[in-house]
Amino acid sequence: MEKPCIQSRGYRNDKGYAPISLGQRIEYAHRIAYLLHVGPLQPWLVIDHLCHNEDLTCPGGSTCLHRGCIEPTHLEAVTNSENILRGRATSAVNARRTHCLRGHELTPENCYARPDGKSHRACRTCIRMRQQARYGRSMSEVSA
């Protein structure tokens, strides 16, 4: 980041964000900064702190200093899904993986999709190897 973070002063809630009272409504400082310097935020978008994404030493969570950052160049409006996938949670890390633990490439053809539609990627090559080991024969013998 070219510019340093600008921290909102005052109270931080238990999640590390800086809420501001606007009459009867509570809004977060980073959202107000975005509104004032960039423009209105579409209701289906959230604010991603780009400074957090670049700071690999940040522990995240309620101790994350970036949640209080109101520097407009550090803020970007994105979908909630994109915001999650840019993070460091397990789901985000797994979504970025290109190979399974045994080194097989996770291509669309080599990924198993669960029938219930829940998000999960499993390596078809590894599944095949486990089945071969379990039943003690090659899959070509099974299909013959």
Q: pLDDT tens digit string along 84-131?
A: 888 877 777 887 888 988 999 988 888 887 777 666 778 899 998 988
Q: Is the dihedral of CA 56, 76, 119, 135 positive or negative?
A: negative
Domain boundaries, the chain: 1-96, 98-144
67 burial (CB, 10 Å; 0-12 / 13-18 / 19+) is buried
Could you tell me if 49 and 67 are in contact, meaning their C-beta atoms sit under 8 angstroms apart? yes
DSSP-based three-state secondary structure for 28: strand
pLDDT of the residue at 118: 65
Radius of gyration of the chain (CA): 22
Q: Is 80 exceeded by the pLDDT of residue 21? A: yes
pLDDT tens, position by position, 28-71? 999 999 999 999 999 999 999 999 888 888 888 888 889 999 99
Please report, for residues 90, 111, 137, the alpha-carbon distance to residue 121 in angstroms, rounded to integers and kept in the order given.
13, 6, 25
pLDDT at 114: 75
pTM summary value: 0.68
CA 101 – CA 120 distance, rounded (Å): 15
Closest CA to 68 of 26, 142, 5, 119: 5
- In 3-state terms, what secondary structure has residue 22? strand
